[in-house]
Amino acid sequence: MGEALQTALTDRYDALSTSLRDRVVQFVLGAFDSLGNYRDSDAAAFLERVLPTVLAAQQQMGQITDAYLSAMIADMMGAAAAPVGVQLPEALRGVPPDEVYRRPFVTAYTALSQGKPYAQALGEARTRLLSITETDMQLARTHAAQQSMRRGGVRYFRRALRGPKNCALCTIASTQRYKVEKLMPIHPGCNCKPEPLPGNKDPGHIIDDKLLREAHAAIAKGVGASDAGGRTPDYRKIIVVREHGEYGPLLAVARHDFTGPKDIPGS
């Protein structure tokens, strides 16, 4: 059925995945905002309330991603869709979820110890909780997508931009093809989705010259210099993929470094 069916599948998946993510975020933030205090006992009650819903939502994101990609791949290959499900670990980051979702409380305690006002400390904690929840839903998507595409025999994929606005990192990265054996690089707040590329022939590193030129033009307008060949400035040296200890591949700006063991006093 081709393009019409694939567009319908994409629209349906986007609506379902966006609704799921938004509902989970609203629930988690609502639970956080409703706490009377933010002491250890409140943190424990928060975790007991939200973790079952968060973990169930991650599994649901995995299932709808598998169903979507199975249908897309089947249409591309002229076969019947056969989603068989995906297996997502509870600890998508390799860290126990209760440890991850306790971090906003640590953020609040740290801010208070630094003399910051109570409202500011809670604001910083809430922002961290939002980032954690959105990132975990995105990790569920990317892990499920990799499993589904591998099973379907896909070799290459692209990152499809979603939402009314996209950052420069995602926009430029979306013009490139990626290999299925590698997870799609993400960053906090990322809402891109993996989209299979038809055929097994490598389409080449750049798959959307037009969008790349438009991105260069926009950057040139802002900074006064650009080059469609990626040399002035050299985006290969600016936008990079780093390996994050929890997220996996992380889309980043080259000048942004992670703290390592050598940065810890006494290490």
Dump the DSSP string for the chain. Answer: -THHHHHHHHHHHHHHHHHHHHHHHHHHHHHHHT-S--SHHHHHHHHHHHHHHHHHHHHHHHHHHHHHHHHHHHHHHT-----------S-TTSS-HHHHTTHHHHHHHHHHHTT--HHHHHHHHHHHHHHHHHHHHHHHHHHHHHHHHHHTT--EEEEEP-SS---HHHHHHTTBEEETTSPPPB-TT---EEEEPSSSS---SBS-HHHHHHHHHHHHHHHS---TTS-TT-HHHHEEEEEETTTEEEEEETT-----GGGSTT-
Q: Are 246 and 139 in contact (CB under 8 A)?
A: no
Give the model's pLDDT for residue 220: 61
pLDDT exceeds 80 at position 266 = no
pLDDT exceeds 60 at position 100 = yes
Phi/psi at 92 (nearest 5 deg)? -60, -30
Give the model's pLDDT for residue 258: 42
Lowest-pLDDT range of 5-19, 48-62, 67-81: 67-81
Give the model's pLDDT for residue 167: 75
**Mean per-residue pLDDT, 135-158:** 91
Give the model's pLDDT for residue 97: 96
In the structure, what pLDDT confidence band is assigned to residue 24 with cuts at 50, 70 and 90?
very high
Give the model's pLDDT for residue 240: 64
Taking the CB of residue 198, how many other CB atoms lie within 10 A of it?
14
Question: What torsion, rounded to 10 degrees, do the Cα atoms 22, 27, 31, 32 define?
Answer: -10
Lowest-pLDDT range of 8-12, 103-107, 108-112, 238-242: 238-242
Tokens of 189: 């707040």
pLDDT exceeds 90 at position 117 = yes
Residue 35 vs residues 41, 124, 258: alpha-carbon distances, Å? 10, 16, 32
**Mean per-residue pLDDT, 201-221:** 73
Q: What is the pTM of this model?
A: 0.80
Nearest partner of 51 among 105, 87, 99, judged by Cα: 99
pLDDT exceeds 60 at position 264 = no
d(CA 46, CA 12): 32
